[in-house]
């Protein structure tokens, strides 16, 4: 398994506050992704990165921004958290060049009150 | 837009039974299909990856098949065990340059001792 660490693993915050989730990988994978998982919706892609400083939007990107200043770190920021952003957030990484297989972190549970 | 459907949503079987989980997708132009396992409160663990040119993949008691033309994949679990209890997710990778996955909502499997 790829070494993927998400932090924090649990966070409770209030509406309107900024929140940053961090994904750190030790596998030198080029591709990194942020997904959110919600009951009834499954996993949905928020943003992804195909290299340092190269990012693009997924299907549910509104209210989120990302940054990738080095290969191993991919940050997800909620500029002003809302209750609809209460979710479990998963980071994933992949080599993409060969099999296209993705590997997932343990998730970060965010509650916005 | 690719849509992935998993049936049934939940399945309960006695230990030792062989079982099949189903996954269907609407757009047959896929790069690969990946089956994952998710335990409660945990991340996703990759089980099997089938490339679009392949018909099946096997790992231990697991066998995944792919029929791209009909938009279907199955995950066969032989001689099920209580430790197999988890949610099983399939995800379709449309390929291109960024390898984004579209997930089904999963099948919750319970194997009773």
Nearest CA in chain A to B31: A100
Q: Is A113 exposed, middle or buried (0-12, 13-18, 19+ CB in 10 A)?
A: exposed
Which residue is associated with the tokens 């008691």? B61
Quick check: A95 pLDDT over 90? no
Q: Residue A94 has what pLDDT? A: 86
- pLDDT band at A40; cut points 50, 70, 90: confident
Nearest CA in chain A to B93: A100
Pull the structure tokens for residue B40.
């409660």
Mode of pairing for the β-strands spanning A19-25 and B101-103: unpaired
- pLDDT band at A96; cut points 50, 70, 90: low
Other CB atoms closer than 10 Å to residue A85's CB: what's the count?
20
Q: Do B43 and A56 touch (CB under 8 A)?
A: no
Q: Do A100 and B100 touch (CB under 8 A)?
A: no
Q: Residue B93 has what pLDDT? A: 86
Mean pLDDT estimate for chain B: 93
pLDDT tens per residue across span B43-95:
999 999 999 899 999 999 999 999 999 999 999 999 999 999 999 999 998 77
Better-predicted residue by pLDDT, B42 or A110: A110
- DSSP one-letter string for B22-41: EEEES----SEEEEEEE-TT
- pLDDT band at A19; cut points 50, 70, 90: very high
Q: Do B43 and A90 touch (CB under 8 A)?
A: yes
């Amino acid at each position: 398994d790829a070494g993927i660490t998400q932090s924090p693993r649990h966070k409770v915050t209030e509406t309107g506050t900024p929140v940053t989730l961090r994904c750190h990988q030790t596998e030198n994978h080029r591709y990194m992704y942020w997904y959110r998982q919600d009951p009834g919706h499954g996993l949905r892609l928020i943003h992804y990165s195909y290299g340092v400083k190269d990012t693009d939007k997924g299907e549910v990107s509104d209210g989120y921004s990302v940054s990738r200043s080095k290969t191993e770190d991919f940050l997800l920021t909620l500029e002003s958290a809302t209750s609809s952003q209460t979710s479990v957030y998963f980071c994933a990484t992949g080599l993409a060049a060969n099999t296209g297989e993705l590997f997932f972190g343990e998730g970060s549970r965010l509650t916005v009150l | 837009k690719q849509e992935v459907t998993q049936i049934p949503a939940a399945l309960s079987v006695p230990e030792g039974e062989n079982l099949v989980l189903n996954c269907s997708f609407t757009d047959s132009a896929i790069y690969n299909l990946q089956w994952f396992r998710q335990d409660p409160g945990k991340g996703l663990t990759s089980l099997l990856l089938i490339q679009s040119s392949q018909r099946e993949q096997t790992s231990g008691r697991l066998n995944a098949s792919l029929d791209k033309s009909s938009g279907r994949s199955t995950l066969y679990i032989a001689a099920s065990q209580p430790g197999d209890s988890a949610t099983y997710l399939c995800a379709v990778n449309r390929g291109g340059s960024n390898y984004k996955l579209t997930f089904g909502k999963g099948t919750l499997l319970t194997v009773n001792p």
